[in-house]
């Protein structure tokens, strides 16, 4: 199904070691509105969605894994040279005690990822509205991380991710309209 290219979807650069920014970014790694939850949600929903929009969920779900890889790279680069004291100061001390510098799926508050984050109702229109909301929440979170960041190199990648969330929401809105049109079409038997 996939062909993996050994490069990121968009270049990831950081200006300096900054564990505090890494902590914020972990929200998009393992949080309820993060990239892992989105990828799993869309790839799961495609089994109960009409054929007209299956490809859209597959495409966006796959792209969310590319975004997850970008977030992991950002977190790694922001923490790879951090001392235990810097991690503690950034509020990552419990993460360090449990995982050293390894990435782990949890949100910025340290709450582990859970399958409860993945929504699937089985009603195509309801699921697509859930997907629109997920993309808008991710967009907002990226903006708030950008607002907290003083790293212009990191912000470049974050702006790319924020813009992709906007495009995904637009595509899901188009899919809703397509399915509504089909649902409302007069049926003659």
State yes or no: 106 annotated in a binding site: no
State yes or no: 64 annotated in a binding site: yes
State yes or no: 135 annotated in a binding site: yes
Q: How far is CA 110 from the centre of its chain?
A: 17
Contacts of 4 (CB under 8 A, 6+ apart): none
Contact 157, 10 (CB under 8 A): yes
Q: What is the DSSP string of 91-112?
A: T-HHHHHHHTT---SB-TT-PB
CA distance 71 to 68: 5
State yes or no: 35 annotated in a binding site: yes
Annotated binding site: 35, 59, 64, 67, 135, 168
Q: Per the annotation, where are the binding residues for Ca(2+)? A: 59
Known binding residues for Mn(2+) are 35, 64, 67, 135, 168
């Amino acid at each position: 199904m996939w062909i993996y290219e050994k490069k990121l979807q968009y270049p990831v650069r950081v200006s300096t070691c900054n564990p505090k920014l890494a902590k914020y970014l972990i929200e998009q790694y393992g949080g309820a509105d993060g990239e892992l939850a989105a990828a799993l949600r869309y790839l799961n929903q495609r089994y109960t969605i009409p054929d007209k929009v299956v490809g859209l969920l597959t495409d966006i779900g796959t792209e969310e894994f590319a975004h997850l890889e970008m977030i992991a790279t950002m977190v790694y680069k922001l923490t790879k040279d951090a001392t235990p004291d810097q991690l503690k100061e950034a509020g990552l001390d419990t993460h360090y005690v449990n995982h050293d510098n390894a990435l782990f799926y949890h949100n910025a508050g340290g709450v582990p990822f859970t399958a409860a984050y993945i929504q699937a109702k089985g009603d195509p229109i309801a699921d697509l509205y859930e997907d629109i909301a997920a993309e808008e929440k991710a967009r907002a979170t990226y903006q708030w991380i950008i607002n907290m960041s003083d790293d212009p190199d990191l912000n470049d990648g974050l702006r790319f991710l924020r813009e992709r969330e906007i495009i995904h929401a637009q595509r899901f809105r188009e899919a809703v309209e397509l399915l509504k049109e089909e649902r409302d079409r007069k049926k003659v038997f």
